[in-house]
Chains A and B, each alone.
Chain A
Amino acid sequence: MANEPKKPAVVLEHVTKKFGRKTVIDDLSFKIYGGEVFGFLGPNGAGKTTTIRMIVGLMRMTRGNIFIQGHSVKGDFRQAMRQVGAIVENPEMYKFLTGYQNLVHYARMIPGISKERIGEVVKLVDLEERINEKVKKYSLGMRQRLGLAQALLHHPSVLILDEPTNGLDPQGIHDLRNYLHDLSRREGVAVIVSSHLLSEMQLMCDRIGIIQKGKLLGVETVSQFMEEGGGKVRFTVNDGAKAAQTVKDKLALNPLTVLTDAFELAIAYEKIPVVVDTLVNGGTRIYGVESVTQSLEDRFLEVTGGKQHD
């Protein structure tokens, strides 16, 4: 795998989905490679879930095609699905069956899954003690782990997880993050994650694709994405409003936020001393200067233009 030229694990080609006349997904094209964790970002109603549903064949494309390890979801559904393990939205399992029976159920649908493999994934998701209880007794976190178990049963080369951290405790999230990293690095699995916990994605993903109103705004690595946001510097001062005015008048810089005892500027690192000098000369007392790293969340809101109104 390592020396071969990278072949994409999942390819979306001009994927379009219309519900009646309404275009929900508009000409989406991108590639996801084995060995990476790909984050799928977008506000609610942007089309994340619809896209995931088309990748796993739950919804038909109006136009375009999706290939999984070279197999068309449209033309070669069986081979394509053989490669995929997924949780779509909530991990809804059969509540009247035990966790183990649920896994047996899914294992029967793919040839070649041994009892040992079922035991393995149960151990992996740490459900050994409760696996013979009915799923209706499970907590959301346990269901999430059982959902992960069913997705991993057949050693998929593409793993799709919709909101995987939902219901997990901090330790569980930490473990999942490490596990997904391992899976992508060691076994070359392409992991696709969607989440509303953007700070989570920052830690989990290698690349992110941002989708809004059914259109792809861009696919970037997490570090690229962050850099483009530029540096933000916070000045803690005696009079925020007055200091902000000084900066505006003397340096023609527009503060991002102004508080009573602080203001924030988007400026390059080298420019900080100039601002400090100007402020001191203007009679402002400075108590602190710190560079604020923009979180993925801020950057996300910036890119998508704030809150989504449906």
Chain B
Amino acid sequence: MTEFFRLIQNENMKIYRRQSAKVMLILLLGLILAAGLIVKTSQPAPKENTHWKQELVQQNQVLEKQQTQVGGNRQAINQIKKTIALNQYRIDHNLKPSGGETLWGFVSGAAGNTVLLISIFTIIVVAGSIASEFDTGTIKLLLIRPVYRTEILLAKYLSSLLFAVLCLVLLFLFSWLIGGLFFGFDGAAEAHLSYTSGVVHQTSWTLAVWKDYLLNGVSLFMMVTVAGLIAAAFRNGGLAIGLSIFMMMGSSIIVTLLSGYSWVKYVLFANLDLTQYASGTPLRSDMTLGFSLVVLAVYYVVIALAGWLFYTRRDIKA
């Protein structure tokens, strides 16, 4: 085990000593800071609102009317029901909604897009880690050690995933800090209200944000593995990066194009977004969370196995 830990240490050293890793981390923090500045300057200063309960009651009355008008649109009805329930909960428990952006609002808002950015970074890292040693020729001195290629590949893969975890932790801490500095640390104690199957729960924001990271992380995890496979198969980092980012960006288009066919549910990209089950509106009505998890697991095993075979079985000619 310590032997394997040393391999991880090696791969970490090769990731973080490169200029590119530093640039990526600085870019990540810079973007969060920029987002904070933009939100801060673009929104008016929050006014003291003493009539918030009345306003929520009014809003709910309007929504109740709308609900009868939208007719059969399940998604719209769900959304309206959710807003009504949350408003009612605030009125009942005396939880004043904030006038503007809050610390947690910022942290949560930064999650979605930034996780996509972290996916791209991690794809770059994993492709570089696996393929670049073939370009530079260092693969030869790496693979003539008393260590199996499987272990080296696993160390490269895991250290790349650790890079993603580091980015997520940095994202969390830094967006919390920026959120606090710009929108007040008093918002840190705010409760998170969630709505599931007609009931409102009061939960921790930290958990809610990490749940969000995790759901977005499914796509990250799969696409990083795909990038690893391409890097191992073609020994070409650029190709692996380009192809997997292209697939990731184009996945929603692909799914939309194929959405008419019933077999779309077996396509990897249709199952990457697990938030479709949390919102209660899956792509196809016959898809469930369990189904998606099984499809993802099958894809994962096939991709990982193929990558492993390419890396361990082929001759090193570099």
Residues of A within 8 A of B (CB): 53, 56-60, 77-82, 84, 86-97, 101, 104-106, 108-111, 147, 150
Contact = CB atoms under 8 A, between A and B. Distances in A.
Given A108-B10, A109-B6, A77 B146 contact: yes
Contacts of B141: 86-88, 91-93, 106, 147, 150
Given A77-B148, A108-B6, A94 B14 contact: yes
A60 B138 contact: no
29 contacts: A53-B316, A56-B144, A57-B144, A59-B317, A78-B148, A81-B144, A81-B145, A82-B146, A87-B141, A88-B140, A88-B141, A90-B137, A91-B141, A92-B136, A93-B138, A94-B136, A96-B17, A97-B13, A97-B14, A101-B17, A104-B13, A105-B13, A108-B6, A108-B7, A108-B9, A108-B10, A109-B7, A109-B147, A110-B146
Interface of B: 3, 6-7, 9-10, 13-14, 17-19, 136-138, 140-141, 143-148, 315-317
A258 to B, nearest CB: 46
Contacts, number: 77
Contacts of A108: 6-7, 9-10
A109 B6 CA distance: 7
Given A91-B141, A101-B17, A81 B146 contact: yes
Query: For the complex, would chain B's binding face be called helix, strand, loop or mixed by DSSP majority?
Result: helix
A296 B315 CA distance: 33
B315 A109 contact: no
Contacts of A53: 315-316
Contacts of B137: 89-90, 92
Contacts of A58: 140, 143-144, 315-316
Nearest to B313: A60
A78 B138 contact: no
A259 B19 CA distance: 62
Contact of A89 (B3, B18, B140, B148): B140
Interface residues of chain A: helix, strand, loop or mixed (majority): loop
B148 A92 contact: no
Contacts of A89: 137, 140
A79 B14 CA distance: 26
Contacts of B145: 81, 106, 109-110
Nearest to B9: A108
A105 to B, nearest CB: 5
A97 B316 contact: no
A250 B14 CA distance: 74
Contacts of A110: 145-146
- Chain A CB count within 10 A is highest, among B17, B146, B315, B316, for B146
Per CB-CB distance, the 3 closest pairs between chain A and chain B, nearest first, are A92-B137, A109-B145, A108-B6
Contacts of A104: 13
Contacts of B140: 58, 88-89, 92
A94 B19 contact: no
A163 B7 CA distance: 29
A308 B17 CA distance: 44
A281 B137 CA distance: 66
A109 B140 CA distance: 14
Contacts of B144: 56-58, 81, 84, 86, 88
A266 B253 CA distance: 80
A104 to B, nearest CB: 8
B240 to A, nearest CB: 20
Contacts of B147: 78, 81, 109
Contacts of A90: 137
Contacts of B6: 108-109
Contacts of A109: 6-7, 10, 145-147
